[in-house]
A and B are shown apart, each in its own frame.
Chain A
């Protein structure tokens, strides 16, 4: 399928980077677009744990769990993003694919220094698009290559903690 939108976050043309913006609930995340191999509808992706496209097998990656959120399986805009990074790849289901965003590198902000631990490796930075804030995900972490999974922690309001390492079954 084609992407729904292609936005420019700036009028400048040099030193731009491109992201695929996806949504879980009210939260937005940015995946480096050079790793995107395709975006499939629910019907195209099917209901299995794997998606085979152009001779490649993409195993489902539970990015929603990594992000301590849940996938809205009833979303009419649900899509599966086929994503690859080096030799790793995965099929990532999201509530919605917003579209591609081109941004100047200087529009990509780092996480504030108050974040002091592993999340600095997981989250490459932040970007504003259409007045929304999206977290730029490290592709290696998104695909489970860093071997860490974050799940909701038993905190009063918000929440993060760590569970077992991500699955290692990622043939491509």
Chain B
């Protein structure tokens, strides 16, 4: 479920500045805390898995590493742009998790905590949002994916 505005404000208040990775999913610009991101790599070899877990229905093989894939694009009702998707590795309490993102290279942003405000997004848990070039960018709570 969504975090309350009060919870978001508390989370925001605990940090003076935030380091964020900004990326896009199906053209939608999103952000995540750098400490929640294990890296960004080319996509690997995927294998679908019969699954009833919402948005977790495939595995990604990268060399000897096998990661579960969280289909954030489907959750957001988006379709990834282009064929050369990238893999954003989320640091998740259950272990690292691959998320397919658009092929645009993610960028790093540093924000003052005061720039972060509660998000209005309701389809995925967020830690807040901020404005960049006139656009609202939601900060996805990667550690909570699949826990809501």
Contacts from A to B (Cβ < 8 Å): 27-28, 66-69, 109, 111-119, 122-123, 126, 128, 133, 135, 150, 155-162
Binary A-proximity of B37-50 (CB < 8 A = 1, otherwise 0)? 00000000101111
The 10 closest A-B pairs by CB, nearest first: A117-B52, A150-B50, A114-B68, A112-B68, A119-B51, A113-B94, A156-B74, A160-B57, A133-B61, A116-B53
| B95 interfacial by beta-carbon distance below 8 Å | yes
Count of chain B residues with a beta carbon within 8 Å of a chain A beta carbon: 30
A156 neighbours in B (Cβ, 8 Å): 71, 73-74, 77-79
Given known A27-B47, A123-B49, A156-B77, contact A114–B70 (CB-CB < 8 A):
yes
> In the complex, A158→B61 CA distance in Å?
16
Inter-subunit contact A119/B52 (CB<8 Å): yes
Given known A114-B97, A133-B59, contact A158–B50 (CB-CB < 8 A):
no
Closest partner residue, chain A, to B46 (CB atom)? A158
Q: Is the interface of B mostly helix, strand, loop or mixed?
A: loop
> In the complex, A160→B45 CA distance in Å?
19
Contacts from B to A (Cβ < 8 Å): 45, 47-53, 56-59, 61, 64, 66-68, 70-71, 73-74, 77-80, 92, 94-95, 97, 146
Given known A66-B50, A119-B49, contact A109–B66 (CB-CB < 8 A):
yes
A67 neighbours in B (Cβ, 8 Å): 50
> In the complex, A135→B58 CA distance in Å?
11
User: Would you give the shortest CB distance from B87 to chain A, in whole angstroms?
Assistant: 14
Q: Tally A-B pairs: CB < 8 A.
A: 92
Inter-subunit contact A133/B50 (CB<8 Å): no
> In the complex, A116→B92 CA distance in Å?
14
B45 neighbours in A (Cβ, 8 Å): 133
Q: Pick from B50, B77, B97 the residue with the most CB of A within 10 Å.
A: B50
Inter-subunit contact A158/B57 (CB<8 Å): yes
> In the complex, A119→B58 CA distance in Å?
11
User: Would you give the shortest CB distance from B38 to chain A, in whole angstroms?
Assistant: 14
> In the complex, A135→B66 CA distance in Å?
12
B64 neighbours in A (Cβ, 8 Å): 128
